[in-house]
Every structure is written in structure tokens, then in C-alpha cells.
Structure 1
Amino acid sequence: MDTGCWLFGGQFEDSVFEERRERRSGPPASYCAKLCEPQWFYEETESSDDVEVLTLKKFKGDLAYRRQEYQKALQEYSSISEKLSPTNFAMKRDVQEGQARCLAHLGRHMEALEIAANLENKATNTDHLTTVLYLQLAIFSSLQNLEKTIFCLQKLISLHPFNPWNWGKLAEAYLNLEPALSAAFASSQKQHSFTSSDKTIKSSFPHAGKDCLLSFPETLPESSLFPVEANSSNSQKNEKAITDIQNCMAEKRETVLIETQLKACASFIRTRLLLQFTQPQQTSFALERNLRTQQEIEDKMKGFSFKEDTLLLIAEVMGEDIPEKIKDEVHPEVKCVGSVALTALVTASAEEFEDKWFRKIKDHFCPFENQFHTEIQILA
């Protein structure tokens, strides 16, 4: 046959004409898994593979960290970091995270935050960013910085809105914020300075700011302020002015505390809703943890003293975006995007997050503010 008649791709592979291998009779050879003794990586090795040597050192660092020997673990991680190839990005990120966690445990939080910031700048996918946010969360929790802790949780929720555990942590953080708010109000009330010229009250609270969770208005309503005169003949007016200001501050304090309880309650309800939706997909210890957490939330909800219709409204709002079936976020989809796009995935401020998730609830109670205030009794 003329070779010109052959179509491209029409030839047969030589393997088609080869004879088949004879199958061995009898059962197949059993598979023998390699068994490693405990702490096998402490044994002397003569390997010339640099990556293998560094991997063994990392295992030693991980074990030291597990044993809470943070200085020893830090030394192991640091020695690895110096010898790692610049192209071994995966191990470099793991080692730097280990260094940051050790530094946080050793009280060197600023150094830990610098490493975390560097990792955040070099993140290229949502998995990287999630890891960095959990690292920052651990550092700020160690510092007992509630504002930063809450903001880290809010950013994590922006990435993974259907993760119930982060919502639960956020609810707990809001509850822990209440004593700090009360202390801040007490301090702010004592340290205000009054002037008769501008009728303003200037707070000396150090964390005041637009996006600060513990900030309060620097200027009170004009109706509540009176010029404070130095003349002794006007002492009664001065006392009345101070009393009015204190009353106004007390009202503001109550409003902020109620809003904080509202956000904590809404976060707990969101947690419970997500746990209920994932419950049919779980078994064994995962299901036990789910049910136990739901019961813990139920017990904590009793401390809010919200009315039943209030709780139903919050549940409706916090469950609006939950589909009928949601996947368990054990292995969420990893999005590989640039650093700019990653930044856009997380909330830019606490104010933006709370406006998205809690605005509808707060707006509902706005016309009935006085009635809403009587629902919860907060000790001044």
C-alpha cells in the first residue's frame, strides 16, 4: 500500500504487536510498609541530600515546639532558614511560621508580627492568607489585644463565611470585650477635660479612633453640655453640667454595651446555624464536638435575656446567605490569585465587617431604641 494513503495518526503502536507478559501464578507479594522508630529523625544520618537533612532538622524543631521547648525549637527553625534554598517556598513558609509562633511564646511579639507581615505580603493564594491570619490571631491573642484579635477573626470570616468555629471565636471575643469597654468608659469619664469656649469634651482614652472598637465620641450633644465656669458663684451650674455630662456618658456606655452583646449574640446564632447545617454530614468525634458546641451556645444564649422574637429575627438575618446544603469546610477551595486580589477578599476594617453582618439587625431596633434598651439589664 502506498504510504501516502496513510492518515496522520493512523499508525499502530508497536506495543500492540508485543506479546503479553505471563501472569505469575499464586498470590501477589505482600506490601511491606516502612516502619520508623519514634524520634527516628534524631538518629545520625549520612545523607548528602541537603533537603533531607533540613527536613530532619525541621522535624526536630516541630517536636521541640510540641514539647513547649520554644527556645530550642526557634534555634532549629533559624538554622534551617539560613540554609534553605530560595526556591523552596513551601518549607520556607513553614519554617517562618514556626519561628513566629516560637517568638510569640517567648514574648518577642514584635519580631513575630514582622515575620507574619512578611508572610502576608508574599501570600499568593487563599490557603497562604488563611495560615497567616491564624498566625496573627495567635500572636494578638497572646498579647491579649482584643481589638486586633477581633479584626483577625473578621478577616478570616471574610475568607470563610461558612466556618462555624471562627464565628464562635468571634462571639467569645465580643463577650470578652465588654469588661474592656466598661473600664474604658470609666477611665474616659474621669479623664475628660471641660472647656467653656468650645463646649467639647476631649477624651484622653489612648485608643480613640474611627475604626477602633473601644473608641467613643469626642463631642457630646450640645443639649447635654453647659459651660463650666471657674467662678464659685456658679458652682450649682457647674455641678449640673457635670451631672448632665455623666448621664449622657452613661447612656452612651449602655448603648455601646448593648450593641456589643447584640453582635456576640448574632455571632453565636450564626455559629449554631452553621453547625446545624453541617451536622448531617458528620459522624463520630466530629458529630460529638458539633452537638457539644451547640449545647454550650444554648447555655450562653440564656445569659443575653433577649426576647424570643428578637432571637428569631437575628437568626433570620444571620442565616440569609446559608444555602440549603453547604459543604463542610475541612478542605475549602484554594484560590490562587495575586496579592492585590487577596487583599480585596478580606474586610478592610471592623466597621465594614460589622456594617455588612449586623447593620440589618441594628437598623431594625433603631425605631424602638428605648424598648430595646429595656430588654437587657446591664449593670452600670
Structure 2
Amino acid sequence: MELFGSNFDDSVFSEAKDRGSVCVLSYNAKSCEPEWFCESAALDTEDSLEKQKVYKFRGDLATRRGDYQAALDAYSSCLEWISDNSMSIKRDILEGMARCYTRLGQRKKAIDLLELLSKEASNTCHLTSLLLLKVTVYQHFGDVGPRMSSLQELCSLLPFNPWNWYNLGKMCLQLLEHSANLKETGKEAEEQHKELSEERLWLKACVCFIRTRLLLRILQQQQSSFVLRHNQSAVQSAEEALAHLNPKETTLLTLTELISEDLNPEKMRDENQDGKSLSNVCVQSFEERWWNKVLLSGVLEADGCHGQSDTKL
């Protein structure tokens, strides 16, 4: 009795020539000289995609070299050759132009591009990239309120990313250390005065560094090598910042309990939003999700003068 599959057709083992000719495919990779796109001959083509590449590469190189006007000119030329359906490359070019306008001190043009990019953002990746760009632009021009709002939006959109929390905490700490200047620049609205008061900045900094420490310690379980060392260094920085802020032990315990309620593996997997359509993502504001319940806990009043240290980090 033959086992199933034990009888093969002899033709399987015949020579290749007996089974028909074999088509051999070859591929010759295109070889380019370094910075080939800088040559004038690179634009001697009718191919719009090729021209788009040349101008984009020129803009990227000029940006790296710090020649922001040349980069801006190249990006502007690139836009003329981008088709209407090439949204990804268009966003990339517009972001590059916004950075150039920022470096050139042209605030209005940079902000106008941020607004245009906001209208065209369609998923969480777009929004994340946009918010990071906003932080850069607002920081450059010293726009305290919008920068803080952008960082808070990042924390709400990606609540398990420790670096957004860390950056928000550092901003609050820096504002505390320059509170005299803050009072001079915070005259636009009464509400902004309230949100940027020393007491609220102190409390928000505590919340951010506690959350940072919690998230980084969770991530340490899956890390090794230089990634783990970088993580441990950030944890140390967060602990030093908390020591500088000097909250009472009861305040630390209360805040840790309040902002760690969602830190479980199942919850963290469910909220992985990378690339999701914004129409399918419900993001609670920073105030709704964390800040209001922190204020309602009464820790600010319970901590009294919150024992801030005069030692700067």
C-alpha cells in the first residue's frame, strides 16, 4: 500500500531543458553620483515626477546646510510639479516650508501653513506630525499658550507616549523658573493668567513627570541595550525634576493613583491609534481626561506652598 503523496511524477525530476525554457530576469540598479540633483542637467527632463524629486532633494539639502531661503525656493518650485493626488509629498513639502519660514522669522506665513495643514489632516499620523511641528514653530516665536496647548493635545492623542509628557513637564518647569517673564508675556487674557499661574504650572509639572516615570518603567520591561539606558536616563531626569518640585509624599501618592488608572496592558493596546482616521478617533481633551480630576482632588490646597526649591536644574 502506498502512502498518500509518496508516488511522484518522474517529470518533476527531469532536466530543466525537458520542461521548457526558463526565463531569466535581470535588473540593473540605477547609479547616481552624490548630489546629482544639484547639477543643472538634472532638470533637463520632461518628467514631472523627476523634477519634483530634484527640487525636493535640493530643498532637503539646503535645509540641512542651514540655507533656509534656498530651501524655501526649492520647496516652492517643487510644489508646482506635485499632482493633486500626491497628498503625502505635498504635506512633506508644506511642513518643510513652514520650518523654513520659522527659521527666517516669518511668523505669519509659518502659521498660515500650519492652518492649511490642519485642514488637510485626515489621520492620527498627520495630526501627530502637525502637532510636533506646531510645538517647534510656537517655541521659536515664544508663543507660550499655543505651545502648551499643542503639547497637551499630543498627550491626549498619544497618552502612552512618555516623551510628550516629559516635554510638557519640562516646559512647565522652565516657565516656573522664568515666572517674572511669564507675568510680562501673559497679559493677553485672564484665563491664560490663571492657567499659567505658578501654582498650576507646579501641579501640571508634577503630573507630567509622575506620568513620564510610570510609562518609562512599564516600557523598561521590553527594552535592552542603548534603548534601555536612554530610558533609565530619562527616568532619572524625571525623578530629579520631581525632587526639585518637592511635592509632599501624600501629594505624590494621590497624583500617582489618579493618573495611573488607565495604565494596564489591555487598555494600552486598545488605544494604539497610529494611522487611524480622525473621524474614528475620539480624543478627550487634556482637561477632561486628567486635569479636571487632578484639580478636584484638592492636592494643590493640601500641599500648601508646595515647597518649591530655589535650586535650578
TM-score (norm 1): 0.67
Matches within 5 A, 1:111-130: 111-130=109-128
Query: Corresponding residue for 1:39?
Result: 35
Classify the secondary structure of the residue corresponding to 2:53.
Answer: helix
1:128 and 1:122 map into 2 onto residues whose CA distance is 9
- Any stretches of 5+ residues in structure 2 without a counterpart? 1-10, 18-23
In structure 2, relative to structure 1, the CA distance for the partners of 1:89 and 1:22 (3 Å cut) is: farther
Aligned to 1:321: 262
Secondary structure in 2 aligned to 1:292?
helix
Cα distance in structure 1, aligned partners of 2:125 and 2:59: 23
The Cα of 1:263 is off from its aligned counterpart by 1.0
Residues 1:30 and 1:346: Cα distance change in structure 2 (over 3 Å): farther
1:65 aligned to 54, 63, 66, which one? 63
1:207 aligns with 2:188: yes
**Residues 287 and 378 of structure 1: CA distance in aligned 2, closer, same or farther (over 3 Å):** closer
Unmatched 5+ stretches in structure 1: 1-18, 189-204, 217-252, 348-352
CA contact 2:37–2:57 (8 Å) conserved in 1: yes
Tell me: CA distance 1:184–1:288, structure 2 relative to 1, closer, same or farther (3 Å): closer
Q: TM-score, normalised by structure 2?
A: 0.80
Distance 1:32 1:164 in 2: 45
Task: Kindly tell me the number of residue pairs found equivalent between the two proteins.
Answer: 290
Describe the superposition over 1:159-204 as per-residue Cα deviations: whole angstroms up to 9, x where unpaired.
111111110010011112225544555x69xxxxxxxxxxxxxxxx
Task: Tell me if 1:270 matches 2:211.
Answer: yes
Shift of 1:32: 7.9
Deviations 1:79-125 (A, max 9, x none): 11123222222211111111111000100011011011011111111
Report the structure, 1 or 2, having the larger helix content.
Answer: 2
- Distance in 1 separating the partners of 2:35 and 2:289: 49
For the residues of structure 1 that align with 2:26 and 2:230, how far apart are their CA atoms? Answer: 39
**Percent of aligned pairs sharing the same letter:** 36
**Structure 2 residue aligned with 1:105, among 103, 116, 119?**
103
Three-state SS of the structure 1 residue aligned to 2:298 is helix
Structure 2 distance, partners of 1:377, 1:66, is: 41
- Tell me the distance in 2 between the aligned counterparts of 1:130 and 1:60: 26
Shift of the 29–270 alpha-carbon distance from structure 1 to 2, 3 Å rule, reads: same
Contact 1:258 1:376 in 2 (8 A): no
Whichever of the two has the greater Rg, that structure is 1
**Cα 1:30–1:316, aligned 2, differ >3 Å: closer, same or farther?**
farther
* Structure 2 counterparts to residues 220-369 of structure 1, below 5 A: 256-324=197-265, 326=268, 333-338=274-279, 345=283, 347=285, 353-365=286-298, 369=301
CA 1:292–1:377 in structure 2 vs 1: closer, same or farther (change >3 Å)? Answer: closer
The aligned residue for residue 92 of structure 1 is: 90
